[in-house]
Structure 1
Amino acid sequence: MDSQQQFRAGESRGQGQAMTEDWLQSAKDTTNAARDKVSDVTHHTSNSAQQHKDESAGFLHQKGEQMMNMAQGAVDSVKSTLGVGDNSNIKK
């Protein structure tokens, strides 16, 4: 092989290596972008789940309080109807 052929062979090998490095960098960039998107979605989903959990807990607490007040009202009504106890001594 003469020097011209060796030069072209080296040049082709160098171009191949450069293309390979470009392809690898592109693959790394794509992987990093996908990882970032998954991280963002995971973070958003976690925040959303926590918000819904908090809202549900607040709703259940409110409904529990309403049920307790209704039950106490029923007890007071029965006691009043039966003339049992003094309404000022009822614990709430």
Structure 2
Amino acid sequence: MSNIQENLKAGESQVQDTANAAKNKTTDVAQSAKDKTVDATQSTKESAQQGKDQSAGFLQQTGEQVRNMAEGAVGNVKSTLGMGDKK
């Protein structure tokens, strides 16, 4: 084989190695991006669920407070009108 042919084969081998390295790096970067996306999605889901739970708790507390105030108001009106329970 001539020196030119040997250099050509060596160059082709280097190009192939570089292409493979670039392909592997691209695959690694894509997998890393995918993993980060999955993590961010899970974190967002958990945050949304936590917000939902907090909202439900807040609404329940508010409902109980409104009910208690209404019961108190009814009791005051009954007392004012002389219709309250006598103990």
Q: What TM-score, normalized by structure 1, do the two folds share?
A: 0.85
Aligned residues: 87
Q: Which runs of 4+ in 1 moved over 4 A?
A: none
Which of structures 1 and 2 has the larger relative contact order (alpha carbons within 8 angstroms, sep 6+)? Answer: 1
Map of 1:31 onto structure 2: 30
- Partner AA of 1:26 in structure 2: K
**Rounded Cα–Cα distance in structure 1 between residues aligned with 2:52 and 2:39:** 20
Could you give the per-residue CA deviations for residues 26-72 of structure 1, whole angstroms, max 9, x where no partner exists? 01111111111111111111111110110011011001100001001
**Rounded Cα–Cα distance in structure 2 between residues aligned with 1:21 and 1:65:** 66
Pair 1:84–1:6, CA change in 2 (3 A): same
Q: Percent identity?
A: 46
Note the residue ranges of structure 2 that are not aligned, 5 or more in a row: none
Map of 1:82 onto structure 2: 81
**Rounded Cα–Cα distance in structure 2 between residues aligned with 1:72 and 1:87:** 17
Query: Over aligned residue pairs, what C-alpha RMSD do you find?
Result: 1.6
The SS at the match of 1:47 is helix
